[in-house]
């Protein structure tokens, strides 16, 4: 008597392909299927092989992609094993890939306004008030709440986003298109990704203007909910260039309670008014030092600076961020405090501010408005 072994049920490859549609590239934020990054998919005896086509051989997110693909495919019926292999796109494939990305999303400055990307330019009158730390944590808090967020580090001379987010690598470049560097759910673009950490950037106005233009227009930001721009201190060329490239940006002014910082920050508010940029609000940083032992707060830099600046500028005081040991430690370790220590006093206030940011108002001056004829 011949006993026939039961035949193992076949894996439905159509279902596997459909399941893989939910796997997104971590850098681009779009489906591997839509991006054309899936190669051959095969199955035999319950073992499924999936090929993923990478844009660059040195992709730092291979482990994350492998885990995501394996998890999704393993959940399908009759799958007992998953093998994920990686190949690298040819130069021609990369060029076609870049063209596909350009067609898939409008330029950032064409996606602004109601229903588009909210752009917040974070400014300060002087350095040392924690503007970049505030920017990084607002972005991380927005991303943690489910928003698609980017940070443009426009402080070309004093870039700090790579340190604050704990990343130090070059962006992926596809032809003339740069990919933001992902960290903690936020897409980052910074001069710090292109130079050594100790190397100074010694540029005059025209070079600075061109670099910032490329950061805006030659970066694949995708369809963001919010873009936060970390401006350099003061009212110089970089600030004016960014407002030219992103005319629908709204300004957030950061100051400390100290009178000196408040007076200098007031100049930024007046500059914004003169160039037609809305000041959406004031954030007072380092409002008080929090004792690590007892939790008492001491106003080391005085009181009232943020409130007075808001009153003078006719804008709301969005919040007062205390200075605690968790905030300092998070900056040194490269993890925003809203992620590293969400229950700390500074993190709670930064998260509250992020979730209450006012929506920018789209400016209509100089724009062609749609007209409709109403019947009699």
Residue 204's pLDDT is 63
Between CA 163 and CA 330 the distance in angstroms is: 10
pLDDT, average across residues 58-77: 89
Q: At 48, phi and psi to the nearest 5?
A: -110, 130
Q: Are 17 and 43 in contact (CB under 8 A)?
A: no
Q: What is the share, in percent, of the chain residues with pLDDT greater than 70? A: 87
Please say whether the dihedral angle defined by the alpha carbons of residues 75, 78, 80 and 86, taken in this order, is positive or negative: negative
Domain limits of the chain? 13-104, 108-355
Instruction: Tally Cβ neighbours within 10 Å of residue 369.
Output: 5
Q: Which fold has domain 108-355?
A: Rossmann fold (3.40.50)
Q: What is the rounded average pLDDT for all residues in the chain?
A: 84
User: DSSP string covering 182-218, please?
Assistant: EETTEEEEEGGGTS-TT------HHHHHHHHHHHHHS
Q: What is the share, in percent, of the chain residues with pLDDT greater than 90? A: 45
**Domain spanning 13-104: which superfamily?**
Fe-S cluster assembly (FSCA) (3.30.300.130)
Between CA 165 and CA 183 the distance in angstroms is: 6
In this predicted structure, the answer to whether residue 248 has a pLDDT above a threshold of 50 is: yes
Tens-place pLDDT, residues 347-364: 999 999 999 999 876 554
Between CA 230 and CA 160 the distance in angstroms is: 9
> What pTM does this model have?
0.81
Q: Which of 102, 109, 161 is CA-nearest to residue 136? A: 161
Q: Are 84 and 68 in contact (CB under 8 A)?
A: no
pLDDT band of residue 6 (cuts 50, 70, 90) is low
In this predicted structure, the answer to whether residue 3 has a pLDDT above a threshold of 60 is: no
Residue 218's pLDDT is 85
Is pLDDT larger for residue 245 or for residue 138?
Answer: 138
Contacts of 123 (CB under 8 A, 6+ apart): 131, 231, 233, 239, 251, 252, 253, 254, 265, 268, 272
Is pLDDT larger for residue 63 or for residue 338?
Answer: 338
Q: Which of 153, 139, 238, 158 is CA-nearest to residue 197? A: 158
Q: Which range has highest mean pLDDT (21-25, 68-72, 169-173, 174-178)?
A: 68-72
Residue 111's pLDDT is 44
In this predicted structure, the answer to whether residue 369 has a pLDDT above a threshold of 50 is: no
Q: Is 272 helix (H, G, I), strand (E, B) or coil?
A: helix
Q: CA angle 144-268-355, nearest 5°?
A: 20
In this predicted structure, the answer to whether residue 371 has a pLDDT above a threshold of 70 is: no
Q: Are 228 and 153 in contact (CB under 8 A)?
A: no
pLDDT band of residue 342 (cuts 50, 70, 90) is very high
Between CA 233 and CA 144 the distance in angstroms is: 27
Residue 101's pLDDT is 78
pLDDT band of residue 113 (cuts 50, 70, 90) is very low
């Amino acid at each position: 008597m011949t006993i026939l072994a039961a035949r193992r049920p076949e894996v439905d490859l159509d279902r596997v392909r459909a399941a893989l549609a939910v796997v997104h590239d971590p850098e681009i934020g779009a489906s591997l299927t839509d991006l054309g990054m899936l190669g051959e998919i095969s199955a035999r005896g319950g073992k499924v092989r999936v090929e993923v086509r990478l844009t660059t051989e040195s992709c730092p997110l291979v482990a994350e992609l492998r885990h995501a693909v394996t998890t999704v495919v393993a959940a399908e019926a009759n799958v007992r094993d998953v093998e994920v292999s990686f190949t690298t796109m040819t130069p021609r494939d990369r060029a076609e890939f870049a063209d596909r990305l350009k067609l898939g999303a409008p330029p950032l400055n064409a996606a602004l306004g109601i229903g588009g990307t909210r752009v917040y330019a974070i400014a300060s009158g002087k350095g040392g008030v924690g503007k970049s730390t505030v920017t990084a944590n607002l972005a991380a808090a927005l991303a943690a709440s489910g928003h698609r967020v980017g940070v443009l580090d426009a402080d070309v001379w004093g870039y700090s986003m790579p340190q604050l987010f704990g990343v130090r690598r070059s962006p992926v470049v596809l032809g003339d298109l740069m990919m933001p560097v992902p960290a903690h759910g936020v897409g980052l673009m910074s001069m710090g990704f292109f130079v050594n950490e100790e190397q100074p950037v010694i540029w005059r106005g025209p070079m600075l203007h061109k670099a910032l233009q490329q950061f805006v227009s030659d970066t694949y930001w995708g369809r963001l909910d919010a873009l936060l721009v970390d401006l350099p201190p003061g009212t110089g060329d970089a600030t004016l260039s960014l407002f030219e490239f992103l005319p629908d940006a709204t300004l957030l002014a950061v100051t400390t309670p100290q009178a000196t910082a408040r007076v200098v920050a007031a100049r930024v508010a007046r500059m914004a008014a003169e160039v037609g940029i809305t000041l959406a609000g004031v954030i007072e940083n380092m409002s008080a030092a929090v004792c690590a032992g007892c939790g008492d707060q001491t106003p080391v830099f005085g009181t009232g600076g943020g409130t007075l600046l808001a009153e003078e500028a006719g804008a709301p005081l969005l919040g007062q961020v205390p200075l605690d040991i968790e905030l300092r430690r998070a900056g040194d370790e490269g993890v925003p405090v809203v992620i590293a220590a969400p229950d700390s006093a500074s993190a709670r206030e930064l998260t509250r501010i992020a979730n209450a940011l006012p929506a920018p108002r789209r400016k209509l001056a100089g724009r062609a408005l749609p007209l409709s004829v109403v019947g009699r």
